[in-house]
């Protein structure tokens, strides 16, 4: 959404958000016990879209009568980014807000999200570097990671068994399996190409080594149509052209039907998929299993990421120390993480959270895979995101749906769709005043 860029005059972090300046507050949080930390009971407002988050917040409120958190759900995803920036400009923003990793640079640049480095010195050790990197810019921490979603291969065990398909471990094997399946069962397809969900595609190019945004000195470099991305695009274009995969966007009614009736044999998705499958394909309970994402080179465990968020403290908060304390509790405390696993189906970003009791049993929708979370735990450390997300991700993502959607329907080259994404992103960054090289 264009509204999510309101207030950009440049960027503020050398090496991450580099340009002429930045709107908003200083972003510097006081240390615990400082004069700005409240002496008496305080009230915090937390914007979050997770269903059942109220159950988790109630645990905090029961145990912390001196710091009461009021939960609100004004929007989700990109829409919440826009609402948060608007509220900041009106000087009535919340104390805390859930932010998807790819959206965090925009809120930092707009002066909305606070630097909480001094408030999290004892917290950051609870996360691995891969996860923490999504919230740390130029050595400063701007959020506490909530969850991580390594990209995995979900496959129909019954379909694979019926047609003698082996679980592919490389992308070459995946393409051969797709052709083999469709030859044996002309009405079955290995998967679909999703032109409606850019997060799915970014996870795939991340695995291949792409970095869509990098910086040098005070300049940005955009490489959306680079070699790694084009390798991924060409691979999927060939599968589409060969007719062994479908074109329907994920989460559409037709896709849901195909997932439910066995037309689609695999789903490349984040670790959160089991929580969604019950609503997507209710007749398939117990028929799915998870495996590592196929590799470009045999034996390479690298995967990408689709999804994941952080809890941030805003520059509007009058109680940043207390807000940071809640954010740390929410994402590192065993009771809080257990409640989120049970009620929200997250896979914790905190490394200790990945060994909690609820993760030692199979997800309800995959009752036949007792080692489900062991497979996810093994994949998570090798999950790769971009080295940084750009300041206009919403423009890039909108261009993905437009350009790939058109290419898919017209049978045009996917590489050209990447070129269009590159041009749209560069043009928008220049318009916003960023220096590019």
For residues 274 and 272, give the distance between their C-alpha atoms in angstroms, rounded to a whole number.
6
pLDDT on residue 335: 98
What per-residue string of b and e applies to 386-419 under the rule 16 or more CB within 10 Å gives b? bebbbbbbbbbbbbbbebbeebbeeeeebeebbe
Confidence of residue 349 (pLDDT cuts 50, 70, 90): very high
Residue-wise pLDDT tens digits, 192-206: 999 999 999 999 999
Confidence of residue 2 (pLDDT cuts 50, 70, 90): very low
> Token pair of 29, please?
């949080």
Of the candidates 398, 365, 357, 205, the one whose C-alpha atom is nearest the C-alpha of residue 289 is 365
Of the candidates 52, 29, 408, the one whose C-alpha atom is nearest the C-alpha of residue 245 is 408
Residue-wise pLDDT tens digits, 51-74: 899 999 999 999 999 999 999 999
For residues 144 and 147, give the distance between their C-alpha atoms in angstroms, rounded to a whole number.
10
pLDDT on residue 405: 96
pLDDT on residue 13: 42
Q: What is the mean pLDDT of residues 407-431?
A: 97
The answer on pLDDT for 28 being more than 60 is no
For residues 84 and 97, give the distance between their C-alpha atoms in angstroms, rounded to a whole number.
8
Q: What is the mean pLDDT of residues 296-320?
A: 97
Of the candidates 160, 338, 366, the one whose C-alpha atom is nearest the C-alpha of residue 278 is 366
Confidence of residue 33 (pLDDT cuts 50, 70, 90): very low
Q: What is each CA distance from 424 to 109, 231, 386, 395, 397, in whole angstroms?
A: 20, 20, 19, 7, 10
For residues 373 and 68, give the distance between their C-alpha atoms in angstroms, rounded to a whole number.
33
Residue-wise pLDDT tens digits, 206-229: 999 999 999 888 899 999 999 999
Residue 348: which residues within 8 A CB-CB, separation 6 or more? 146, 147, 148, 331, 337, 340, 341, 354, 356
Q: Which residue has the higher pLDDT, 169 or 37?
A: 169
> Token pair of 133, please?
């990197």
Residues of the chain with pLDDT > 70: what percent?
Answer: 91
pLDDT on residue 38: 52
Give the chain's domains with CATH numbers. 2-148+308-360 (3.40.190.10), 152-304+387-431 (3.40.190.10)
pLDDT on residue 218: 83
The answer on pLDDT for 30 being more than 70 is no
Diameter over CA atoms, the chain: 72
- Helix and strand totals (H; E) in the chain: 15, 14
Confidence of residue 26 (pLDDT cuts 50, 70, 90): very low
Residue-wise pLDDT tens digits, 108-117: 988 999 999 9
pLDDT on residue 39: 60
The answer on pLDDT for 175 being more than 70 is yes
pLDDT on residue 291: 98
For residues 403 and 37, give the distance between their C-alpha atoms in angstroms, rounded to a whole number.
49
The answer on pLDDT for 163 being more than 70 is yes
The answer on pLDDT for 390 being more than 70 is yes
The answer on pLDDT for 289 being more than 70 is yes
85 phi and psi, to 5 degrees?
-65, -40
Of the candidates 387, 398, 400, 391, the one whose C-alpha atom is nearest the C-alpha of residue 431 is 391
Confidence of residue 137 (pLDDT cuts 50, 70, 90): confident
> Token pair of 167, please?
């679980």
229 close to 198: Cβ distance less than 8 angstroms: no
Q: What is each CA distance from 188 to 160, 162, 265, in whole angstroms?
A: 11, 12, 7
pLDDT on residue 184: 98
Q: What is the mean pLDDT of residues 410-420?
A: 97
Q: What is each CA distance from 106 to 13, 218, 220, 283, in whole angstroms?
A: 12, 17, 14, 41
């Amino acid at each position: 959404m264009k509204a999510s860029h309101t207030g950009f005059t440049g960027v503020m972090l050398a090496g991450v958000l580099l340009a002429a300046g930045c709107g908003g507050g200083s972003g510097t949080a006081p240390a615990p016990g400082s004069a700005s930390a409240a002496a008496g009971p305080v009230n915090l407002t937390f914007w979050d879209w997770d269903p059942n988050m109220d159950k988790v917040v109630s645990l905090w409120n029961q145990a912390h009568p001196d710091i009461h958190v009021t939960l609100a759900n004004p929007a989700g995803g990109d829409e919440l980014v826009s609402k948060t920036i608007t509220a900041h400009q009106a000087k009535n923003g919340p104390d805390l807000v859930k932010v998807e990793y790819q959206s965090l640079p925009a809120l930092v640049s707009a002066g909305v999200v606070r630097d909480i480095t001094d408030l999290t010195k004892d917290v950051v050790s609870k996360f691995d570097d891969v996860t923490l990197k999504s919230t740390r810019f130029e050595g400063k921490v701007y959020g506490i990671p909530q969850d991580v979603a390594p990209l995995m291969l979900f496959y129909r065990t019954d379909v694979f068994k019926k047609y003698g398909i082996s679980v592919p471990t490389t992308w070459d094997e995946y393409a051969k399996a797709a052709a083999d399946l469709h030859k044996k069962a002309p009405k079955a397809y290995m998967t679909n190409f999703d032109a409606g969900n850019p997060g799915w595609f970014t996870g795939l190019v991340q695995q291949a080594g792409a970095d869509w945004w990098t910086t040098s000195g005070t300049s940005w470099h955009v490489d959306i149509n680079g070699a790694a991305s084009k390798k991924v695009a060409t691979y999927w274009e060939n599968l589409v052209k060969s007719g062994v995969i479908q074109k329907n966007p994920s989460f559409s009614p037709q896709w849901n039907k195909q997932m439910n009736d066995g037309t689609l044999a695999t789903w490349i998705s984040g670790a959160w998929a089991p929580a969604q499958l019950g609503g997507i394909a209710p007749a398939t309970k117990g028929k799915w299993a998870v495996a590592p994402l196929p590799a470009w080179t045999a034996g390479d465990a690298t995967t990408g990421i689709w999804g994941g968020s952080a809890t941030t403290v805003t520059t509007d908060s009058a109680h940043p120390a207390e807000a940071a304390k809640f954010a740390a509790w929410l994402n590192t405390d065993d009771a809080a993480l257990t409640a989120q696993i049970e009620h929200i189906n997250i896979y914790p970003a905190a490394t200790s959270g990945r060994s909690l009791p609820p993760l030692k049993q199979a997800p309800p929708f995959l009752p036949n895979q007792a080692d489900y979370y062991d497979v996810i735990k093994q994949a998570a450390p090798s999950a790769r995101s971009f080295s940084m997300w750009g300041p206009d991700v919403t423009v890039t993502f909108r261009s993905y749906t437009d350009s790939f959607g058109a290419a898919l329907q017209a049978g045009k080259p996917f590489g050209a769709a990447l070129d269009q994404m590159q041009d749209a992103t560069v043009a928008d960054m220049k318009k916003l005043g960023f220096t590019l090289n």
